[in-house]
Amino acid sequence: MLRIAVCDDTREECDFIVEYASVFFEGRQMAVHIDTYEKGSELIEAGQEYDLYLLDVLMPGLTGIETAARLGKGNHAVVFITSSLEAAVDGYSVNAAGFILKPVERNHFEATMERVVNQYLGEREACISVIHNRVPVHLKLERIAWFENRLHRVFVTLTSGETLAIGQKLSELQEELKEHPQFLRCHQSYVVNLEQVERLEDSCFHMREGQLIPICAYVTMALALTWWLACPAS
């Protein structure tokens, strides 16, 4: 899922940007999560990591340029939204991926997004962001074996054998992973990565790590088998 932050102190402009972004990425069958902020300082203080930042240049307090500088260099793209190209010149000093002029027009927005996706986001590996020790951690989906609800906490087991306690509920993870059919909620307490299943036997998934994951009655054997065959272990 692509995580996007929109930061603009004008509510109307912010709403337009969110609408345009939602339509653009939905049309390309790319799942997105969009958060909005009115100030650069709010974005920084939130401590969240995003794949794409859409930043107004002229804002009270931190400008968009200053906000991008605080974010630093990373595995993300920054697009500035401005009413003046002169004010956006400094954007190149923080490796801007693009600029969009206000008032934001859908055609210009989509053309810029098309280029940004192709140049900066197109080859991005599928990841999920989890909260571990109150800090966002990005995990590649291929590293995840299963999620488990145990002792009123949710844990993720990685293919390396490492287990992390995380802050999300299992239902929240299930919703976020709905665009990735290799993840199946096979039991009230488990979401499994079917690509990490070794075999299906006796109403259980036998995982590559040796763990047995139960399959609840509401997930029929036929359904589980269909999902498993669609994502065979390599």
163 closest CA partner among 124, 130, 203:
130
Distances from the Cα of 23 to the Cα of 30, 112, 215, 226, 231, angstroms: 10, 14, 37, 32, 30
Least confident of 21-35, 79-93, 155-169: 79-93
Strands 135-140 and 127-132: antiparallel
What is the distance, to the nearest Å, from the Cα of residue 177 to the centroid of all Cα atoms in its chain?
10
The whole-number average pLDDT for the span 202-220 is: 81
Amino acid 228: pLDDT: 55
pLDDT range class, residue 219, cuts 50, 70, 90: low
Q: What is the pTM of this model?
A: 0.57
Q: State the CATH architecture for 2-121.
A: 3-Layer(aba) Sandwich (3.40)
CA distance 140 to 117: 19
Asked whether the beta carbons of 49 and 3 are under 8 A apart, the reply is yes
pLDDT range class, residue 42, cuts 50, 70, 90: very high
Q: In terms of CATH, what superfamily is 129-230?
A: LytTr DNA-binding domain (2.40.50.1020)
The per-residue pLDDT for range 79-120, each reduced to its tens digit, is 999 887 665 566 666 778 888 988 999 999 999 999 898 887
Domain ranges of the chain: 2-121, 129-230
The per-residue pLDDT for range 51-68, each reduced to its tens digit, is 999 999 989 999 999 999
Amino acid 29: pLDDT: 73
Mean pLDDT for all residues in the chain: 86
- Burial code of 209-233, b = ≥16 C-beta within 10 A, e = fewer? eebebebeeebeeeebeebbeebee
**CB neighbours (10 Å) of residue 63?**
19
CA distance 116 to 112: 6
